[in-house]
Structure 1
Amino acid sequence: MKKLYLAVIAILFSLSISGQTINVISRDWAPFSQNIEVNVDTIKKFKLIAFAKVETTDKKAKTGLWARVDNKEGKGRRGFFDNMSDRPITSNKWKSYTIQGVIDQDSKKLNFGGICYNNGKFYFDKFELYIEDDNGEYQPIAIKNSSFEAKIEDQTIPEWNMGISKGKPYRVKEFSISSSNDSEDGQYSLLIEGSGISEKTGSIAGIGKFIVFIYLIVLVFSLMTKLSPSKSENSWSKSSLIAFRFSFVYFLLFIIIHNNGAYVFFDYIMKYPNDLLHQFIPWVGKHILHLPYDITTFTNGSGDTTYDYVLMFLAFFIAVVSTVVWTLVDKKNKNYDKLYYWLTTAVRYYVGLMLIHYGLVKVIQLQFPQPSFYRLFQPYGESSPMGLAWTFLGFSKGYNLFMGIAEVLAGLLLFRRTLAFGAIITLMTALNVMAVNYFYDVPVKLLSTHLVLMTIFLLSRDIKKLCIFLFTNKTIEGLTTIKRPKFNKSINISLLVIKAFILTYALGYGFYNALQSKKIYGSDAPKSKLYGAYKITDYVVNGDTITNYKSKILWKTLVFEREGYVQVRKMDKQRISYKTEIDTINHKIELTPYRGKSDAFTLNYTKNGDKLDFNYIHKKDTVFGKTEKLGKDDFLLINRGFHWISEYPYNR
């Protein structure tokens, strides 16, 4: 007992020591910050001003100031945010830079600081913060060690935090921190130097090979469950028993932790377990796997986050351990026919319902909508592989319908008699989806790979017969049907009712929900009152017509597409999105940048047919412009159409 007591004390002591150490991570960017509490009753403007410069030969190197407003609980996670990503600092001369933003009654905390990317020397000095008072006058707010006159020791900036918030300290190993005599104000400035950074920085070495290894193990066990020769109908081989034990644990865990809405109401059931996983998985990544960075991003539009892969690794590890323990403990069972039935039922419904959902959003062309003006104006070379895939797939309504019907046919998996036929169709469909995800870098690789693995698991019981039928002249008996355990009449009726409900919900409500979503996000969503793309033909600033196509202020197009939004495309390829309030009676448009209301302005316009002229005053500049409207039919991709007869290829 005394030894146990001493062991517990030793563990607690080691944890307390580790809690005081600075965590070292690896990545290609490093921020530093301070924050202040804010409490205002109305909208107030603020300004963050600082001097900065960059000395580097790395073309990707850049720096910037940043500011973020955190809201009170229940008021949305975040308010204003700007990290100068659209105007990064690359000059090697000391210059003053400013971020302007707003706080309001929902604001709780204002975070601010600097951020550095890639290799180089990044200098910062003389941070200043001003917040508007009730009279509209900017008042200075005290910043501790604003000019970095407190000399830096042990890679620690006095009064500042490394990171984007005040919390447990960490250090990015690729960046060193020191005081520099090259200053703009006072004796010292802050110098952050990045070195040894490459495209692989921050990545997990060998992660691709490890993921493929896990997939191969899962594939082998999936096939072994029913491919391994059995001693008799009621006695499975040892390899089949072991393979099933692994498949049972792994697939059920995956279905539970990566359900993705496949099962009705399952998201509600998993709400609190997911909250626990959001705390546990980052701990596993940090303390068990020793990842080079902290896990702070969870499943979102991407299903291939570090969080998702650590979950998969955990499920794999648990499955391996469970298989070993199960094999050592269970010496009596000769088969797992009942468990096999329930596992295949879970897998059939997971794969079937998942692909029905994806199929329905393709049938109505919601997942891959027709190319927007944004895509039509974007040069091919500037799109991501995923963006190119979305444009390719979204171009054709017919191809969307074809893909959608093929995926909806996965519903055949829900019936045992059509399982083999449905699995063959589903395997081809899922393989195509997986190929697109892998070769166009769509972040749904993990899910699509498991849909393929699960379909192979379902088909494995008949793979041998199918190969004999396809590749030999031998005759085969009929394909097998999974035997269902015998239930009494009331249970059979209950199961039929549940199945009918699931099918009705998946097809009926699923289709209804997809149609409703199309009215919000798809082609039926409300369009702007000035819908269309307007090409700038004249742009006059303070009486001077801007003709230099390299000018950073010259507008190229105005794009009104979704209701309440407009995008301005400049000649220098910069894109700025604004929220809009269009007054068609007084011919005025209120434009508010996404980054806050402090940079809002009013644009006056007159519209005559396809001509739209405008004028506005912004930052003391008076601007006049003329435009010509473009429709989607003005683009070759849209107006080319379909031709039965083509005397020559039209590949442009």
Structure 2
Amino acid sequence: MTITQKLILRFVFLYFLLYIYPYGFEYTKEIDPNNFSFWKGVTTWFGKVFLGWEYNPNMLLNGFDSKYDFTRFLLIAVISIIGATIWVFIDSKIKKEYNNKLKILLQTILRYHIGLTLILYGLSKVFLLQFGTMDIDTLETPIGELNGMNFVWAFMSYSKFYGITAGLIEVIGGLLLLFRRTTSLGAFLLLIAMTNVVLMDIGYDVIVKMFAIHLLLMIVFLMWDDLKRLYDFFLRNKPSTAATYLPLFEGRKGKNTRNIIKGTLLLYVFISFSFDMTERIKQQHSNHYKNFTSSHEIELFVKNGDTIPKSKINGNRWNKIRINDLSYLPETLMILNEDNITQRYKFTVDTLTKKLHLTDFYGEDKTQHKLTYKALENKVYIYEGIFKGDSLRMRTRAKSISDYRLTRNGIRWIRDLE
């Protein structure tokens, strides 16, 4: 191995190790990375001194393409360059050969880190957690008011089939990385999947671009030895030798050590992921009031006995009510005034007494408000009650999920068959 190759190997090893620690351990839900991270102080100091950037210590936006992230990446690169140079210099004095072991260690770290990370993200897609499901708030928001990331989330949440399929590819690819014999196949599968993710994140300005790019770079380095084989096989039509990923620990004792460590890790991950996914599914997909999910256009609004017409824009009239029991904000109700001020509330429904019980979503106001409702024909509703000391009576016309053109039809194989 040449001096340049040694420098590159050590630089990559240090960079990925420092990048992963500790913020990359997303698959360890029981551990808060901030409790044992040393990056906050040194990163903000480095940015102030060398980049001239100021930071809000309470709003570092770690993981979201922030100034803090870019500063940390640059700092890691500087540390890795210096560290790799010193490392190679020391190696030149001690004359000990361990480059292959170092490479195997790095491959092992990347296999498990990439694999567990993408299994976690894949499962969140399979269970419709990452992007949620199409909800009333999304359907009621004009497309021109969405930013690129909101647009991608709407696009992904529209099709359960596409979202689940994308998640399964990540889960399968991640699982394949956990075993040396299937690493090449898993890396190749994830190379395609993550290339697509990176292109989408860049093209639609999703705020986790650097996170996705780092995962893609890890996959490329992991399968570096496979690239020539793939080139020969696919482009030169030449036979290729089988890829070999060597174990970190060799011999019978090494095999037993590997099995114990791997078994313990996978058992922990299985239990942790099970609890985490169960809790998230419970929070996002409880759907106690799925049939109430709808947007209500308020046709008649009477406040304290006075009918307030639509043309009167002074904030006293409600314009719409959105009742949502899907996606990220289940069991919430949003009130939209004519002056575009919105208020969000948690709600429960008593179907026997026909009452809505509302409490402030953010918990600042503990007051409970009650509105009775009555369903008439043609999705017309009557709401009455006392809200913040005011007597209200409203007649609304509801629009449910199935009433929108976007969500009216599912997958149709024959377009003109009615």
Task: Tell me if both proteins adopt one fold, taking TM over 0.5 as the criterion.
Answer: yes
Please name the residue that 1:279 is paired with: 41
Look up the equivalent residue of 1:627 and give its one-letter code. Answer: T
Q: Distance in 1 between matches of 2:290 and 2:364?
A: 21
Look up the equivalent residue of 2:244 and give its one-letter code. Answer: T
Let me know the Cα RMSD of the aligned residues. Answer: 2.9
Answer yes or no: is 1:251 the counterpart of 2:16: yes
Q: Distance in 1 between matches of 2:29 and 2:285?
A: 27
Deviation at 1:296, TM superposition (A): 3.3
Identity %: 26
The answer to whether the 8 A contact 2:293-2:401 is kept is: no
The answer to whether the 8 A contact 2:149-2:204 is kept is: yes
Please name the residue that 1:297 is paired with: 59
Deviation at 1:508, TM superposition (A): 5.9
SS in 2 for 1:569: strand
Look up the equivalent residue of 1:493 and give its one-letter code. Answer: N
Look up the equivalent residue of 2:67 and give its one-letter code. Answer: T
Please name the residue that 1:464 is paired with: 228
Q: Distance in 1 between matches of 2:251 and 2:239?
A: 34
Q: Distance in 2 between matches of 1:284 and 1:618?
A: 53
Matches within 5 A, 1:80-479: 236-262=1-27, 267=31, 270-274=33-37, 276-299=38-61, 302-331=63-92, 332-334=95-97, 336-410=99-173, 411-473=175-237, 475-479=238-242
The answer to whether the 8 A contact 2:323-2:332 is kept is: yes
**Structure 1 residues 555 and 485, CA gap change in structure 2 (3 angstroms):** closer
The answer to whether the 8 A contact 1:295-1:307 is kept is: no
**Structure 1 residues 646 and 583, CA gap change in structure 2 (3 angstroms):** closer
Q: Distance in 1 between matches of 2:285 and 2:219?
A: 33
Deviation at 1:618, TM superposition (A): 5.8
Select which of 375, 388, 393 maps to 1:608.
375
Please name the residue that 1:141 is paired with: none
Deviation at 1:340, TM superposition (A): 0.9
Deviations 1:263-320 (A, max 9, x none): 586x35x45322x4333333333344320444432356x5323222222222111101
Q: Structure 1: state its 5+ residue gaps.
A: 1-235
Q: Distance in 2 between matches of 1:498 and 1:513?
A: 22
Higher strand share: 1
Deviation at 1:250, TM superposition (A): 0.7
Please name the residue that 1:570 is paired with: 337
The answer to whether the 8 A contact 2:369-2:388 is kept is: no
Q: TM-score, normalised by structure 1?
A: 0.57
Deviation at 1:512, TM superposition (A): 5.2
Deviations 1:532-564 (A, max 9, x none): 333312112442341317554332321222465
Computing the radius of gyration from Cα coordinates, the structure with the larger value is 1
The answer to whether the 8 A contact 1:601-1:617 is kept is: no
SS in 1 for 2:36: helix
Q: Distance in 2 between matches of 1:428 and 1:250?
A: 23
Q: Distance in 1 between matches of 2:335 and 2:143?
A: 19
Matched residue count: 406
Higher relative contact order (CA 8 A, sep 6+): 2
Look up the equivalent residue of 2:133 and give its one-letter code. Answer: Q
Deviations 1:196-218 (A, max 9, x none): xxxxxxxxxxxxxxxxxxxxxxx
**Structure 1 residues 616 and 280, CA gap change in structure 2 (3 angstroms):** farther
Q: Distance in 2 between matches of 1:485 and 1:606?
A: 66
Look up the equivalent residue of 2:6 and give its one-letter code. Answer: L
The answer to whether the 8 A contact 1:285-1:294 is kept is: no
Answer yes or no: is 1:524 the counterpart of 2:277: no
The answer to whether the 8 A contact 1:535-1:629 is kept is: yes
Q: Distance in 2 between matches of 1:459 and 1:549?
A: 65
**Structure 1 residues 342 and 549, CA gap change in structure 2 (3 angstroms):** farther
The answer to whether the 8 A contact 2:7-2:88 is kept is: yes
The answer to whether the 8 A contact 1:565-1:580 is kept is: yes
Q: TM-score, normalised by structure 2?
A: 0.87
Between stretches 553-562 and 378-387, larger displacement belongs to 553-562
Deviation at 1:485, TM superposition (A): 5.0
Matches within 5 A, 1:609-648: 609=376, 610-616=379-385, 622-646=391-415
